[in-house]
Structure formats: structure tokens, C-alpha cells
Amino acid sequence: MLRFISKALAFFRRRVDSSEAEKEQHVKLLEGDTTLKTVQGAVTKVCKDHGLIDDLIYFSSDVVTDSVFLNVGQKVTAIVEEDKTYGWKAIKVVALCDSCHGNGMSNSYARVSFASVTSAEEGADYIDHTTYFSLDVVCKGFEPYQGDRVEVEFSTQSDTLGRRALLVKPLRHKHVHEAYITSLHGRNGVIDDSIFFTLESLKLPVGYTPQIYDVVNAVVVESSQSCYMWRAISMTPVKRW
């Protein structure tokens, strides 16, 4: 009898532990795991068993909630993660109802979207030709340039359906160490035959002017620049002893 009671208690203890683990995982998914992002966008491509959101985020049909068939133009919310194969991959996609106007969230509810900088003016930029943002909301150390892929945190006004950018930062960035300047034409150049830079938007040490074959360290951001997918935003020459 005691053995039976012991087994029963162990079973329910495992059930409680499992439930707590699921709750912890759910909280991590929504709040704590910085490798995951919740974004809002539109479906731009649909194939038999997969598609793209904003021409950037890959999703398979099995991650769409309620097995809803998504059409091009459908607005969605997705939980995404970085992926070595696809760049960005959705692990959950929820179709948004056009008549919900924000799913009942308050006006101050912040959302995230991936986009491209399509034009630049003094003191302000535009994202995907539609969303205006002031340079005051750009993260420190980043100066947006046409073609840059950015992550935008914004609020939606339910009464006007307008969007206001709260924070703009590079979608992805990385550090490049000891790379050669392989091309230089006027005020534009290329690092390692793969990273574009322009003196119009590049932070340099005082007194330094980039020269071809210089060895440099650079901070680069994801950006669509002709045949290049990265743009250097800062560059420092490497001293050779």
C-alpha cells in the first residue's frame, strides 16, 4: 500500500514539474529569450508548404496556427528566430483579422516589424516608402542609410490605424576583424569583396582616410547595396608592427 502511494505521489510530482516547465518555457518564449522576436508583417510569397513574410522571414505551413491558408498580402504576427539556412525563420505564425485593428490591444502596445530604409532626408527617414521616423528614435551609434535592413518597434493608433516608430535599430550586425579594403571608387568602397561602405555614412578615426589594401576592423550591418548584403558603419585601421 505504501509503495502504491509512493508511486502515485511521484507521478503527480512529475506532472506538476512538467506543468511548471511548460509555464517557464512559455514565459521564456514571450519575455526572456532574446533570441526570439515577435514581429508583425505581411505575407509576400506563398508556395505549397512554405512562404515568406516581408520577403525576409521564412515560414513552413505547419507553424501557422489553426492550419489557416495564408494569401499574399495577409497581415500576420510571427515569433521568429535567427536561422543559419534561412536567416530568419518563424516558429509560429498567426493570421491577423483586418477588422480587429490591433487585436484589441491598447494604443501604447509596442510591436516589432522588419523593414528596409527606402529614403533618407535631413533629420528623418522612411521605411518601406510608408512609415516616417525621426532620427531621434534611432539607437545610439547607428545612422540609417538607404537599403539598410532595420528592426522597428512601433505603436499603432487604433483610432487612426497610423503607426509611430518608437525605436529603430539594425536588423543584424557583426564585427569584422583584419579585413582588406579590396575596392575603392570615389567615396565608395568594398571590404573583402563583400562589404560595401561609403564615406557619406561611415565613422572613422580622426585623421584616417581609407586606402585600398588597408587592413581594417569594421562594424557592419545588414543592408541591400547592389550585389552586397552588408554595409560598414564604422572602420578602424589595424596597425602592423
CA distance 17 to 11: 10
104-107 — which CB contacts under 8 Å span 24+ positions?
A: 105/156, 105/158, 107/155, 107/156, 107/157, 107/158, 107/159
Residue 192 cell numbers, joined? 573583402
DSSP code of residue 20 = H
Residue 23 cell numbers, joined? 509555464
CA distance 193 to 195: 6
pLDDT tens digits, 82-92: 888 888 899 99
Beta-carbon contacts of residue 104 (< 8 Å; ≥ 6 apart): none
pLDDT tens digits, 89-141: 999 999 987 544 444 434 444 566 777 777 666 555 556 555 566 667 778 88
Which CA distances in Å does 141 have to 27, 42, 136? 31, 29, 12
Whole-structure pTM value? 0.62
CA distance 151 to 39: 9
Residue 63 cell numbers, joined? 507553424
